[in-house]
Structure 1
């Protein structure tokens, strides 16, 4: 009876922890349950007495504070490094969304079901079908590369048709489009020209327009927004400098409050000295947004006790006296990019974005506004590159033959093309969920995930594309459909927060504070000066935090031993998605436990353990990517082709999450703790496997076919039908091949086996007809296709470089 009683007690304890019931209810349930079990076995008194004593301790706040939370508060306050103003503002900036559920260890799938993927409005769809389509017809990336600029016609079209005012409200003449529409527009332009896309992205990303809309005074909005909307004003934003890149908080540019002359009158203003570089659109800008550190040594702003205001943002005309627009940089892609300098530039106080009351609030403004670049623009560029790699490499690997076989049939090639196919699918899914999240606010952690992982998937796909297309992709010229995305890779990787920094510091660093249900509030109490008041708040938070930890640990152990087969899933989960949702449940619980272990053991030192932080960020990100794949997959009618793409992408995401977590535990400084929690997470074996060779062969073959996913992705990009265009040449030739069906394969096989006679193609075609390999009606289509096929393989050459 003792064993039965013990099993019942463990079951009761598990239920209390799993469902994270309240402290009082849980204590009563455990004590009452144990008391009842003493009638089955008197040995249960051995458990009842300490549990009852623990319940009394935990449920008497004065005693609890004296023995538990008070000492914990003192220890953590000493261990926690001080938080700088910029760190605090970065942590407080932005909102949270679905990524917070994944961090909790217990995703709310009811909430996930209610998330609907974004749709274009009638106006947005019309703009995409008309103005964007017309722009794509105006631009040619090879000509842009030769001229090192867009044509005057393209510039004029961008301005007049409102491409620079997509985010500006209609009342100021803008388009006021949704994040999803902006992403779709930018990715379609990028599929035609990276240069044109970057040119259109900047005014709609971090820059004067967005800052003005969120923080500008009414007078500033009326002054600048109409011109930004109709293209008469071209904006740029000066943030990065020679000594401040990713660490924007260290900018040395200074603004000193003083008196000076403006428009013939003496006013209180700011004397600026600054040096900025890598500023996109700077060479053609008419209005400059500027970030600098503001000082008021003489108290002219009205607060005699405050001299250092911190980072501030202002807006000034590019032709303002003292502003110097430098010569162009050469970032590899020929978009406008250059330095901006200023010496003793005097501006009035009301040129601060938002006016004088917003002095010193620039860092938070910038952090919140980075969401557009991180969540919309760069993922849009990445998605376009991933989808174009899918379409062009899939087509080319079927057209191109070596050793009497399509190159796409070689397993070594398929290892690359299968990943291109899965990345193309995952990027579209990721883009759609991220832009849906941006409708809810500015989730800073989610957009950091989007920036890093979308651009890294782009890097993988484009590098694979270069490998598969090989020498044809290396030679520059109007035929090359791959090289310009390859040249743009470094730009996407390094801007809006370099990828190394984004991965190692931002995703988990901000995620721990913004997404953990209790951590940020606890840290706030540790920074408080009034300990007595703070301890009351800390006591409540700390007990909830402990309940959260033990609940997740209990859930993790159950999931690990059962494969999470009995865990909750969305009500609309089908036979394809159900197990994937349950696997996400397992890894979400494992991630939440690992995060609390890291925070509890390492504390503030975790900030310096960037490798550990990066791996936890990888787990969090891959879970979000997996959710986006499931959401996107569920939005379409089921098909075998889409199932194969989604399954490959999901296997990749869960495998990467698992390996990141294993690497985290393998390198955790406390080996005993690492071993214990690793065993709790993966007690029997590693459950998540990378895609198999069969998966690679299946998707490597599928990318060459005109499958349902290819048709989906083709609808998001500009796919030329001009046989003289770099992409159009491959696409139209591929379409001819599809129309031939098995005829080309039959003719090629017979030709390779030496079964056909003749020195010329025409002679072999006639012999093939005579031998019944093909029909007479097939001769002309085969001749036309062979001519086009050969033209597809050629590279450009020039009289003079």
Structure 2
């Protein structure tokens, strides 16, 4: 034991210093004191001396900067330079775009929870709330989704006029240009509410307030462009669209084949410098009705007409963005696409050799070739709002409506929601809706604070739409026949049809998960990687060594600390350690501490050992992206819980959603480790991250029962979950009607049970419900008032469960007669 004691002291001092992230000099001092203590306690002197020598060999060259920078750092810099993956200009632009908020803490292995919890509670201004309660509420009342999606395949003219008149298309446009000047949070709330009644209307409102002409003009437009276009966009005189995607450049937007050749041409009767634009775009939302088209294309200047100061005199100027009026000669707005029975305005755009003056470049001549940077800097803002908000509105509405339906709909004399097989999807629906709501609000709030959340926006886009699809699937499963029969009474069918659309647009989800979330997050959010990369590229050798030395050894200490913290949290099951929160949530924060450290260990190991090959290991990248995403989602839920006053009634919802997130984290980590490209490293990391093996499990049935019951019972927690969606009952809002019926059903259930029990034990021969009620009153089972209550119950039940039927002619398309007559041409394929 006397031989082992000095080395044990050495290891304990290192572990203690690493866990608490003490400076190397402090570690050396603590270790020295422990070794002196070992010597005095009679430990083996030779072993003590050996341990002291090891400490000296580590500490001396590392603690004293001149020695370290002359002997240690240069060879490590040379090795790092070889290891560093080559980055294209487009990759570099993407990585350097955006800001880092709390998501950076999740890569630290030791998140500063105070930073998260001290963020201001997201709140609307009085003006924004008035808009939500006024014009937005009125718009929802006007909405007849069946008419929009089946009869017209478009919004009715009066709705288009209402949207323009009330400046729904100008929510993000500053007031000085005639817009509403709303915050991103207000934009989120409006889209969320509209999406709860119609995804077609929400996308129509969302696109002009997302990435497009208005957003780009606000950030990069010339003063003249802003003065001319922003007021027209704000009041709807111009309807915008943005043309990025084409047949050969979908998710790979950097490969845009559309081009503009710089030349001179005629514009408004004058010869000016411009470019001839050739483009072939598709999937462009609002294209069929747009009057102003934003276009991304690659600009070429073969004759050097722009001068040598653009792109260094290169012929290839680069990706540029322009505003093209609809009426410009040669521009063809194609016929409409028909996206999965969710007929929002969407279609192709074509054109060849269209002359456009340089004055139509967004930002003017100086911004030629800067289009990719402009897109990257603005894309995360739009991606943070429209699709996450749409998923939030649809999911929250689906949750409270199907919860009501599951209580109302009875089979075998029991509400279907009381069956355990139905409780499972009900609990998933509620938890997913809770998580989506927290996540979508978190990213919107980040934009409102002035951040440009590049990584959270990809997390929100991917996971809100993925969870939204799961909610829609579970809703359809519970509704059964009610869900699959389309018609004015069906509140779920169109959401199910539209779910894959959200998965596909604004970057395919498969690529978002496997390439973007971790690929961008590992560099942008990591506290040291970007600093190392920038230092390695410096030209001044002294400055290069100094900055790389600081970053590298900071990174090494960071990696050791996270390995120790991950192992310790795994060993103690996250039950030891300081954490914020109350008795219920403190353990949640500790768990997130553990998996933050585990993510950092996995990220550092993967980047060190795989280097540039990591970006081709998409399965590993996707799984580590899942870990980062679930950490961020869980953090957003805890922040939401605190902002709402930590209500006790929400505990089952929070617990279910949180444990689901933790289970997903462990699943992703364990799958990544079992498939790690270097198998021995995977085994070693498993011992560090899972010293007792996997412990997290999916939420249990008992918790699921509580959550499902919450969804089927009028209560504050259910009301908070439904906050912000359009539950006002009306002729064209079957979901709102079903939601409004729930309190009446709960009050009537005791009367119904009393009546049915008496009826079962009687010899009454009446078969019709009304006759049975009459007998019940005569026999004294129920009072006259209770009879009226049961009559109303039957009427409301019938409205909730009834599905639509149609005359065959109603289901035929408007072109059916032409088709029969052989006059209708077939749809044209669009490349």
Indicate the TM-score class for this superposition, using the shorter chain for normalisation.
over 0.9
Distance apart, 1:710 and its partner CA: 1.7
Q: Are 2:423 and 1:414 aligned? A: yes
Distance apart, 1:587 and its partner CA: 0.8
Corresponding residue to 2:548 among 538, 548, 551:
538
Which stretch shifts more, 649-658 or 57-66?
57-66
- Find the counterpart in structure 1 of residue 676 from structure 2: 668
- Find the counterpart in structure 2 of residue 593 from structure 1: 601
8 Å Cα contact 1:425/1:709 also seen in 2: no
Distance apart, 1:702 and its partner CA: 2.1
- Find the counterpart in structure 1 of residue 250 from structure 2: 245
Distance apart, 1:5 and its partner CA: 4.8
Distance apart, 1:682 and its partner CA: 1.4
The secondary structure found in structure 2 opposite 1:120 is: coil
Corresponding residue to 2:392 among 353, 378, 383:
383
8 Å Cα contact 2:710/2:717 also seen in 1: no
In structure 1, how many angstroms separate the alpha carbons of the residues matched to 2:126 and 2:769?
51
8 Å Cα contact 1:77/1:526 also seen in 2: yes
Distance apart, 1:666 and its partner CA: 0.8
Distance apart, 1:3 and its partner CA: 5.5
Distance apart, 1:274 and its partner CA: 0.9
Q: How does 1:141-220 map to 2 (within 5 A)?
A: 141-145=145-149, 146-220=151-225
- Find the counterpart in structure 1 of residue 820 from structure 2: none
Which stretch shifts more, 280-289 or 679-688?
679-688
Corresponding residue to 1:55 among 46, 59, 83:
59
Distance apart, 1:529 and its partner CA: 6.1
Distance apart, 1:335 and its partner CA: 1.1
- Find the counterpart in structure 2 of residue 89 from structure 1: 93
In structure 1, how many angstroms separate the alpha carbons of the residues matched to 2:27 and 2:615?
35
Q: Are 2:506 and 1:496 aligned? A: yes
8 Å Cα contact 1:120/1:181 also seen in 2: yes
- Find the counterpart in structure 2 of residue 39 from structure 1: 40
In structure 1, how many angstroms separate the alpha carbons of the residues matched to 2:675 and 2:71?
33
Q: Are 2:446 and 1:437 aligned? A: yes
Q: Are 2:475 and 1:469 aligned? A: no
Q: How does 1:662-741 map to 2 (within 5 A)?
A: 662-722=670-730, 725-741=733-749
In structure 2, how many angstroms separate the alpha carbons of the residues matched to 1:752 and 1:198?
52
Task: Give TM-score scaled by structure 2 length.
Answer: 0.93
Distance apart, 1:694 and its partner CA: 1.1
- Find the counterpart in structure 1 of residue 578 from structure 2: 568
- Find the counterpart in structure 1 of residue 286 from structure 2: 281
Distance apart, 1:268 and its partner CA: 2.0
- Find the counterpart in structure 2 of residue 777 from structure 1: 785
The secondary structure found in structure 2 opposite 1:154 is: helix
- Counterparts in 2 of 1:172 and 1:544: CA distance versus 1, 3 Å: same
8 Å Cα contact 2:401/2:736 also seen in 1: no
Distance apart, 1:31 and its partner CA: 4.2
Q: Are 2:460 and 1:456 aligned? A: no
- Counterparts in 2 of 1:705 and 1:392: CA distance versus 1, 3 Å: same
- Counterparts in 2 of 1:725 and 1:168: CA distance versus 1, 3 Å: closer
8 Å Cα contact 1:274/1:341 also seen in 2: yes
In structure 1, how many angstroms separate the alpha carbons of the residues matched to 2:39 and 2:305?
76
Deviations 1:259-313 (A, max 9, x none): 2232333322122111111111111111111101112222222216322221111
In structure 2, how many angstroms separate the alpha carbons of the residues matched to 1:684 and 1:117?
39
- Counterparts in 2 of 1:521 and 1:640: CA distance versus 1, 3 Å: closer
In structure 1, how many angstroms separate the alpha carbons of the residues matched to 2:407 and 2:731?
17
Corresponding residue to 1:487 among 463, 482, 497:
497
Distance apart, 1:48 and its partner CA: 0.6
Distance apart, 1:641 and its partner CA: 3.2
Q: Are 2:527 and 1:517 aligned? A: yes
- Find the counterpart in structure 2 of residue 764 from structure 1: 772
Q: Are 2:368 and 1:362 aligned? A: no
Q: Are 2:315 and 1:315 aligned? A: no
Which stretch shifts more, 490-499 or 10-19?
10-19
In structure 2, how many angstroms separate the alpha carbons of the residues matched to 1:202 and 1:282?
11
In structure 2, how many angstroms separate the alpha carbons of the residues matched to 1:579 and 1:719?
35
The secondary structure found in structure 2 opposite 1:183 is: helix
Q: Are 2:628 and 1:620 aligned? A: yes
- Find the counterpart in structure 1 of residue 815 from structure 2: none
8 Å Cα contact 2:211/2:381 also seen in 1: yes
8 Å Cα contact 1:756/1:768 also seen in 2: no
- Counterparts in 2 of 1:639 and 1:564: CA distance versus 1, 3 Å: same
Q: Which runs of 5+ in 2 are unaligned?
A: 812-831
8 Å Cα contact 1:740/1:781 also seen in 2: yes
Q: Which runs of 5+ in 1 are unaligned?
A: none
In structure 2, how many angstroms separate the alpha carbons of the residues matched to 1:461 and 1:750?
39
Task: Give TM-score scaled by structure 1 length.
Answer: 0.96
- Counterparts in 2 of 1:495 and 1:219: CA distance versus 1, 3 Å: same
The secondary structure found in structure 2 opposite 1:309 is: strand
Q: How does 1:53-132 map to 2 (within 5 A)?
A: 53-61=57-65, 63-65=67-69, 68-132=72-136
The secondary structure found in structure 2 opposite 1:104 is: coil
Aligned residues: 799
8 Å Cα contact 1:750/1:756 also seen in 2: no
In structure 2, how many angstroms separate the alpha carbons of the residues matched to 1:755 and 1:568?
68
In structure 2, how many angstroms separate the alpha carbons of the residues matched to 1:38 and 1:221?
77
- Find the counterpart in structure 1 of residue 144 from structure 2: 140
- Find the counterpart in structure 1 of residue 233 from structure 2: 228
8 Å Cα contact 2:94/2:376 also seen in 1: yes
8 Å Cα contact 1:79/1:604 also seen in 2: yes
In structure 2, how many angstroms separate the alpha carbons of the residues matched to 1:340 and 1:652?
43
8 Å Cα contact 2:86/2:612 also seen in 1: no
- Counterparts in 2 of 1:288 and 1:395: CA distance versus 1, 3 Å: same
8 Å Cα contact 2:322/2:362 also seen in 1: yes
In structure 1, how many angstroms separate the alpha carbons of the residues matched to 2:753 and 2:629?
43
- Counterparts in 2 of 1:644 and 1:752: CA distance versus 1, 3 Å: farther
Distance apart, 1:769 and its partner CA: 4.3
- Counterparts in 2 of 1:638 and 1:540: CA distance versus 1, 3 Å: closer
- Counterparts in 2 of 1:185 and 1:38: CA distance versus 1, 3 Å: same
8 Å Cα contact 1:38/1:45 also seen in 2: no
Q: Are 2:317 and 1:300 aligned? A: no
In structure 1, how many angstroms separate the alpha carbons of the residues matched to 2:695 and 2:754?
44
